[in-house]
Amino acid sequence: MSTTGKLLIARHHESVWNKKGLWTGTRDVHLTEYGFEKAEDMGRVIQDIHIDQAFTSMQVRTIETLACMLMTLDLHCVPTEHAKELNERDYGDYTGKNKWDMKSLVGEAEFDRMRRDWDCPIPNGETLKMVYERVVPFYKTKILPFLLEGKNVLVVAHGNSLRALMMYIESIPPEEAKNVEMLFGAIVVYDVDQEGHKTSKEVREIRSDVNA
């Protein structure tokens, strides 16, 4: 019986706008010095897994995080694909606004609904459902084939694009979307079946303190 490779998923670490408490979405923002340091730490907790293939979004904060992780692992020639399908949720008109000011303005319940729910609209932006509809087909057609070949794949993306991916991998229904979280500094290691669904899951974490 053939064995699939390991799927590792990781969220980029602290960006300049994370530190300021701003909704970043599709805006391209670099990591902070703290984010670079913690990205290196993220590499150290997966030293026992050889990475054969990597994917990031098109956004610089994921590219920088991956570079730090691979440098720490002393891996300099890992084939890497940058894909728009893995980009963060588009926060539309809320991009660049302070999250905590918005929470005070709309109230905690509505704020949580905007951030966590499956199909909550944002003016000129995306819902989590819309993110799912671009992330999952990419996973099935581009990432899963490597896993089925027995290769270990590292995906560095964003809070919401990874939440969407986790919902597919773990067969989580839309009504449970609010409970799905991808923390800063966490690397989730999956074994998957032929359809790309979870057969086992391990979470490795570093200590992180991010204002997001």
Architecture of the domain delimited by 7-205: 3-Layer(aba) Sandwich (3.40)
Query: Which residue is catalytic, options 12, 13, 40, 158?
Result: 12
Does residue 12 carry a catalytic annotation? yes
pLDDT at 1: 44
The mean pLDDT of 71-91, rounded to a whole number, is: 97
How do residues 31-79 score in pLDDT, each as one tens digit? 999 999 999 999 999 999 999 999 999 999 999 999 999 999 999 999 9
Query: Which residue is catalytic, options 14, 64, 85, 88?
Result: 88
3-state SS track over the chain:
CCCCCCEEEEECCCEHHHHHCECCCCCCCCECHHHHHHHHHHHHCCCCCCCCEEEECCCHHHHHHHHHHHHHCCCCCCCEEECHHHCCCCCHHHCCCEHHHHHHHHCHHHHHHHHHCCCCCCCCCCCHHHHHHHHHHHHHHHHHHHHHCCCCEEEEECHHHHHHHHHHHCCCCHHHHHHCCCCCCEEEEEEECCCCCEEEEEEEECCCCCCC
The mean pLDDT of 77-85, rounded to a whole number, is: 97
Does residue 158 carry a catalytic annotation? no
How do residues 94-144 score in pLDDT, each as one tens digit? 999 999 998 898 899 998 999 999 999 999 999 999 999 999 999 999 999
pTM of the model: 0.96
pLDDT at 2: 53
Every domain of the chain and the residues it spans: 7-205
The mean pLDDT of 163-179, rounded to a whole number, is: 97
